[in-house]
Amino acid sequence: MYLTQGLHRAVQRHPDKMALRYGDRVHSFAALADQVARLAATLRRRGVAAGDRVALLSPNTDRLVTQLLALWWLGAVAVPLNTRWSAPELSAALADAEPALLVADDSLLATARSLGGRAPLRGEVLAVESAHHGPVGDARTGGDALAAILFTGGTTGRAKGVMLTHANFWSAAMARGAELNNPADSISLLVAPLFHVAGLGRLIGQLIVGGACLTVPQFRPDAVLADIAAHRVTDLIVVPSMLQALLDHPAFDAATLQSLRRIAFGAAPMPPDLLDRALQAWPEAEFFQAYGLTETAAAVCINPPAHHRPEARGLGLLDSVGRAGLGAEIRIVDERGDEVPRGTVGEIVVRGPMVMAGYWRQPEATAEALRDGWLHTGDAGRMDAAGHMWVVDRLKDMVITGGENVYCVEVETVLRSHPAVADAAVVGVPDAQWGEAVQAVVVRRAGQAVDEDALRAHCRTRLAGYKCPRGILFVDALPLSAAGKVQKAVLRQAFRTPDWR
């Protein structure tokens, strides 16, 4: 179980078949394998050895895919960084990972070089476009060896590096492929960023079966529609807001998009009317919902296509996230870790070979998440007698906006750092476009004046744009429980009552 195995297999079976496309650059499997081996040689000459961490700062491009594969070829660990993060957020991740190198795309090279002086690097900031050294052999590192560290937000405000092994990724990809058709002639459009587990997992799944990938640097509806039509894309992963943007775009023409065969969605509920529009546009496509976490290397639950067809609506399973996938065990438990009766809400826990090795350099957080062999997700759910699961709330204080996770404590900390703010609370509120929007409730300090624009500008200096509050409500006091905790349920309800102050 090593993540370059699929590349070797594809070279043996169909060396001249397209493996990867980015814009006008097209790579066969044979060419990709040669580039990977040569880039691995370049990285080795730069001092990268097996087990070393290398940070990657790049949008989705063919070069980023080559870099990931070259690191695995060497037995090194990829640390892809969120390109939407602010400079302080990126610096904190680098300080935590202490990579041997920071490899940056040309478009982000200036940003990367500015970070090099803020965070410890054992090597240098490097722009890798092509490699001219002779190829080196594949170390074929796999199994329990680390493949990647993916950073996810932390409820304490500190990002957590999720340690995922070759076996984690392999197990997750094989489980998905066993339940859902993933043929070698598939062409997957990688819209989800490769610094997210959804995008990286999809890339790995395609490599395992020898399928092709198209990479796009960002989600632009017009460009995605054009790529699907021009390159006969068969597979797409989206969040519901992306799907709506495609259907609403003036350039949308269903007749030119019928190559799509599989459309996966997750991260937010799919409104039934939006799903109906999509089913009308792609009557032959399979739609399925997936539930998973960065900590599980991709989905551990899949609600299959049959449950999304209009004739199946009577089953009441449309808003389920499905049943435990192959290789995964899922339970709903109480605070003691005991399984609750079916239909009762509790915490979702997961066990299986796809579960992470732990959090990088955070032993306490690892011990809290991995207890008695189970990953405690922090999500609340319920399960019916047949094992179908519903996610009903989040125990973790998190907002999902446009498929991105925003941890409320992190935003609250930044808001409270403003000299005019006495206290702040952040919640997610329903949003037609993004699924949820970040909403802040702020108490000003006595005698201090600050408005929404000033607070948003303050947040933008410390946070990625998607984490900054879309709405800010000023109040005299936050609602507190008897224990002195902010009653966020009250706040969430308040935004359904416009006259609340």
The pLDDT of residue 430 is above 50: yes
Mean pLDDT of the chain: 90
CB 302 within 8 A of CB 327: no
CB 145 within 8 A of CB 166: yes
Cα Rg of the chain, angstroms: 23
Maximum CA pair distance of the chain? Answer: 73
Which of 71-75, 271-275, 316-320, 439-443 comes out lowest in average pLDDT? 271-275
| Residue whose C-alpha is closest to residue 212's, from 200, 223, 202 | 202
Q: Is 400 left (phi over 0), alpha (psi -120 to 50) or beta?
A: beta
Distance CA 295, CA 197 (A): 9
- With cut-offs at 50, 70 and 90, classify the pLDDT of residue 214: very high
Over the stretch 272-313, which tens digit does the pLDDT of each residue have? Answer: 778 889 999 999 999 999 899 999 998 999 999 999 888 888
Over the stretch 94-124, which tens digit does the pLDDT of each residue have? Answer: 999 999 999 999 999 888 888 866 666 666 6
Distance CA 71, CA 51 (A): 9
The pLDDT of residue 370 is above 60: yes
Distance CA 135, CA 34 (A): 7
Over the stretch 132-187, which tens digit does the pLDDT of each residue have? Answer: 779 999 999 999 999 999 998 643 456 899 999 999 999 999 998 888 888 999 99
Non-local CB neighbours of 229 within 8 Å, separated by 6+ positions: 253, 256, 257, 259
Q: Quick one: pLDDT at residue 155?
A: 37
The domains found in the chain, sorted by start residue, are 398-494 (3.30.300.30)
Q: Quick one: pLDDT at residue 498?
A: 53
- Give the DSSP H/E element, type plus range, for residue 25: strand 25-28
Q: Quick one: pLDDT at residue 366?
A: 97
CB 303 within 8 A of CB 363: no
- CA-to-CA separations, 32 to 15, 66, 130, 191, 409, in angstroms, rounded: 9, 7, 12, 20, 43
Q: Quick one: pLDDT at residue 121?
A: 65
Angle at 376 between CA 339 and CA 393, to 5 degrees: 80
| Residue whose C-alpha is closest to residue 57's, from 94, 15, 113, 103 | 103
- CA-to-CA separations, 178 to 74, 158, 181, 327, in angstroms, rounded: 29, 36, 7, 10
Strand order in the sheet with 262-265: 25-28, 18-22, 212-215, 187-190, 235-238, 262-265, 286-293, 298-303, 323-324
Distance CA 457, CA 342 (A): 47
Q: Quick one: pLDDT at residue 207?
A: 97
Q: What's the predicted TM-score (pTM) here?
A: 0.85
Q: Quick one: pLDDT at residue 135?
A: 94
